[in-house]
Amino acid sequence: MMKCHQREVKGPASLGITTRMGTSRLVVSLIIILIINTCPMDAFAEGLIIVVQPTDIADCKGNTVTFKITIADAAGTVHYCWQQKWPGEPGFSDIVPAETTDKLKVSNIGTGTSPPDGTQFRVSVSDDTGTYYSEAATLTVNRIVGIAPIGKAGYTLCAGSNITLTTLTDGLEPLGYQWIKHEGPGIWYDIPGATSPSFSILDANWEDAGEYKPRVIFPATESGTCIETSTIVRTVTLNIPEPGTIGSDQEIPSGTTPDPLLSLIEAIGPQEAILSYQWEESTDEGNTWTEISGITTPDYAFPEPIHTTTHYRRTAVSVLNEVSCSATTDSVTISVRDHLTISKAMITNSMKPGDEIIYQINYANRNTIGTAQNVKIIDYLPHSDKFTFVSAS
C-alpha cells in the first residue's frame, strides 16, 4: 500500500495593468505554492490501515473459533489489543490474559466462563502514528438449549399412551436432526426414521422405556457444518401393571351367597410402584361397570346373597412417580338360577295324576310373574304342598 506524499513548488509571477493615459507595467512579485500529491486522491491520510476487518463467526457450543485482522502501512512497532463485549455489557473491555497478535482464538465457546452467544469482539491496533479500532464481529453459538416439554427430566407412561419430545435450539437454523437412544454404558444408537425436530412415542410399551436425546447438525462459518449432541436427556419410564387372575364362573340358586372370588395370580407392577385393587360389578352383561365401594383387597368375599346374574372383575392400580396406571382382569360371571314359587291355586285333595291344572309361577331372579295352563299332574301327595307336574301340551 502506497503512502501519500506532498511536494511544494514555488515561483514568481507578474501582474500587468493598462490605463487610458498609456501603458505602464507594474510588476508584483507573488509566490505561488503548488501542492503536488504523489498518491491517489482516496489515500490522502497518513498512518496504519486495516485492510481486512474481523468477520462474524458461527460454530457449535464447545468448539474453538478464530477472529483475524489484516493491516497495512504500519509505522514503527505495532501493538494489538483484543477486546470483547458480552451481551448486556455497556461497552468493550480488554480480554484478560491479553491477546497481542493479529489473531484471537476463542475456545469452548458457549460453555462455562467462555464467551456466550452474541458476544462481540474487536481489536485496537497501535503504531507510531496512533491507535486504530477495528469493526466489531459477533460470535454465534449454535446449541441445543432444551427438550420440550420442559421442566421435567423424565416421564412415566401407562401402556398405550403417547408422548412427543421436541428439540429446542439457539443460533443458526439447524440443517438436520437425529434422535438417539441409550443402549448401554457409553452406547447410543440412531433411532431409524427419527430425523425431525420432534420425536414421538405412540402406543407405549415396555420396549419404549429408556433415555432419549437429539443430535443436531448446524451450519458453521469456518468448517461448513458442525454437530452438537445434546447433554440434555429425557428418561421414559413405563408403568404397566399385570392384572393377575381371579376365580372362575359360578352358578348358584337365587338368594344364595357365591363362594369368594380368590386371587389365583397376584397383580404385579414395576419394582417401585405402589399397588392397590378396585373391584367392579355389572348386571347388564358388562356394558356398564360400577365400583364396589370399600373393597381394595386381592380377594372378594360376598357380603350377602345375590339374586341377579352379575359379572365381576378386579382392577390393579399401580402408582409410580405419581402417575397412576391400571390393568383389569377378565370378568367372572356368577349365574343365578331362577327360584320358582308356584301358587296352590286349584290344587285339591281330589286331584290325581293325569289331571290338568292352571297355576301361577314367580320368577324371583327376573323379578317377573308368569302364568301357564294345561299342566298335567304326574304325582301328587294329598294334604301336602308337594307335587310334580309336566306340561300337558
Q: What is the pLDDT of residues 176-200, one digit of tens each?
A: 999 999 999 999 999 999 999 999 9
What whole-number distance in Å separates Cα of residue 20 and Cα of residue 280? 139
3-state helix, strand and coil shares in percent for the chain, rounded to the nearest 5: 0, 50, 50
Please report, for residues 73, 254, 281, 289, 290, the alpha-carbon distance to residue 284 in angstroms, rounded to integers and kept in the order given: 99, 17, 9, 9, 11
Phi, psi of 391 (to 5 degrees): -70, 140
Q: Which three cell numbers stand for residue 262?
A: 380368590
Q: Is the pLDDT of residue 365 over 80?
A: no
Calpha distance 241→243 (Å, rounded): 6
Q: Is pLDDT larger for residue 13 or for residue 302? A: 302
Q: Which three cell numbers stand for residue 234?
A: 429425557
Grid coordinates in use for 93? 473491555
Is 204 in contact with 158 (CB distance < 8 Å)? yes
DSSP designation for 356: E
Tell me, what amino acid is at 220?
A
Q: Is the pTM of this model over 0.75?
A: no
Longest dimension (CA), the chain: 189
Instruction: Read off the DSSP letter of residue 376.
Output: E
- pLDDT category, 355, cuts 50, 70, 90? low
Q: What is the pLDDT of residues 314-349, one digit of tens each?
A: 999 999 999 999 999 999 999 998 655 555 455 555
Q: Which CATH superfamily is domain 147-238 in?
A: Immunoglobulins (2.60.40.10)
Q: Is the pLDDT of residue 202 over 70?
A: yes
For 334, other C-beta atoms within 10 Å of its C-beta total 20
CA of residue 348 relative to chain centroid, distance? 84
Question: Fold match between 49-141 and 245-337?
Answer: yes
pLDDT reported for residue 44 = 40
> What is the pLDDT at residue 359?
56
- The CATH classification number of 49-141 equals 2.60.40.10
User: What are 266's three cell numbers?
Assistant: 397376584
Higher confidence at residue 5 or residue 11?
11
* Phi and psi at residue 207, to the nearest 5°: -65, -15
| In 48-175, beta strands by DSSP E | 49-52, 57-60, 65-68, 70-72, 79-85, 93-94, 103-106, 120-127, 130-133, 137-148, 154-158, 163-170
Q: What is the pLDDT of residues 150-159, one digit of tens each?
A: 989 999 999 9
> What pairs with residue 97 in β-bridges?
none
> 259 and 246 in contact (C-beta within 8 Å)?
no
Q: For position 70, what pLDDT does the model report?
A: 97
Q: Say whether pLDDT at 363 is over 70.
A: no
pLDDT at 80: 97
Report which residue type is found at 237: T
| Calculated CA dihedral for residues 381, 385, 386, 389, nearest 10 degrees | 90
Q: Please state, in angstroms and rounded to a whole number, the distance separating the CA atoms of residues 71 and 52.
A: 7
CA 222 to chain CA centroid, Å, is 32
How far apart, in whole angstroms, are the C-alpha atoms of residue 144 and residue 184?
23
CA of 60: how far to CAs of 52, 170, 179, in Å?
25, 10, 18
* Domain layout of the chain by residue ranges: 6-43, 49-141, 147-238, 245-337, 340-391
Instruction: Report, at the CATH architecture level, how domain 245-337 is classified.
Output: Sandwich (2.60)
State how far the Cα of 171 lies from the Cα of 190, in Å rounded to an integer.
24
At position 239, the amino acid (one-letter code) is N
- What is the Cα Rg of the chain in Å? 49
